[in-house]
Amino acid sequence: MSLEHYFHRYGRATFTLFLINVAVYVVEAVLSGGNFLSIRGSVLALLGQWNYAVLNYGYWWQLFTAMFVHVNIIHIFFNMYFLLTMGRQLERVLGPRRVVMTYIVSGLVGNVLTLFLKPPMTVSAGASGALFGIVGALITISGVVGGNMQAAMMNAFFLFLINSVLPGVNAYAHLGGLLAGIAIGYYYGKVIRRRLTWQYAYGDYW
């Protein structure tokens, strides 16, 4: 199947984000001596987010690159599965540019929270914060449009809890990404609801 088929199936922005994550993982594996199963700590400290380096060496770009970096093959497999599943749903609702914006903003918020709430020697990596933003936006849009925000918030934070209690999981990145996604989803949910109300009241002739 052609690349265009996957762009159509998953959404152009979602599949592009997928390709970037996979490409970065290939680079990580090469730098780890060709090991595609697990990435060296030194590579994660360089391409991921090493809090000490960000604060003391000015490696602020790591707040961005870390959201495309993964620690092993299982990590990227599950994250990319959820990206393709949830990203394409949000892309159908908000369009490609807003999916990329949600991914990046949520990932950055999660990484900034990690920077100031985790110990300086912490090294973190992964798209989880960005993905929590995508899921948070989806849930919140549904809650706003459907008029049931209480249930939407309960679903969002239940999702956070069950995915953030395992050892080694960066709960701060999850929480930051989720809160960013909720804010984005609330804004666009209101926009969509106003548009639907207008169309219901006046039809499409406006």
Measured between alpha carbons, how far is 89 from 102 in angstroms, rounded to an integer? 13
| Model confidence at 181: pLDDT above 90 | yes
Q: What is the pLDDT of residue 73?
A: 97
Determine whether 2 is an active site residue: no
Domains and CATH numbers, the chain: 3-202 (1.20.1540.10)
| Model confidence at 71: pLDDT above 60 | yes
Torsional sign, CA 7, 12, 14, 18: positive
Mean pLDDT of 167-177: 92
Q: Would you place residue 94 in the very low, low, confident or very high pLDDT band (cuts 50, 70, 90)?
A: very high
Q: What is the pLDDT of residue 2?
A: 81
Mean pLDDT of 127-150: 94
Q: Which of 70, 75, 106, 128 is catalytic?
A: 128
| Model confidence at 205: pLDDT above 60 | no
Determine whether 75 is an active site residue: no
Mean pLDDT of 96-122: 97
Mean pLDDT of 53-80: 97
Q: What is the pLDDT of residues 27-46, one digit of tens each?
A: 999 999 999 999 999 999 99
Q: Would you place residue 200 in the very low, low, confident or very high pLDDT band (cuts 50, 70, 90)?
A: low
Q: Would you place residue 163 in the very low, low, confident or very high pLDDT band (cuts 50, 70, 90)?
A: confident
DSSP H or E run through 123 = strand 123-124
Measured between alpha carbons, how far is 49 from 54 in angstroms, rounded to an integer? 7
Q: What is the pLDDT of residue 206?
A: 43
| Model confidence at 202: pLDDT above 70 | no
Distances in Å between the Cα of 3 and the Cα atoms of 9, 10, 12, 15, 16 are: 10, 11, 10, 9, 10
Mean pLDDT of 186-195: 93
Q: Which of 70, 106, 124, 174 is catalytic?
A: 174
DSSP H or E run through 84 = helix 73-94
Q: What is the pLDDT of residue 197?
A: 76
Measured between alpha carbons, how far is 102 from 107 in angstroms, rounded to an integer? 8
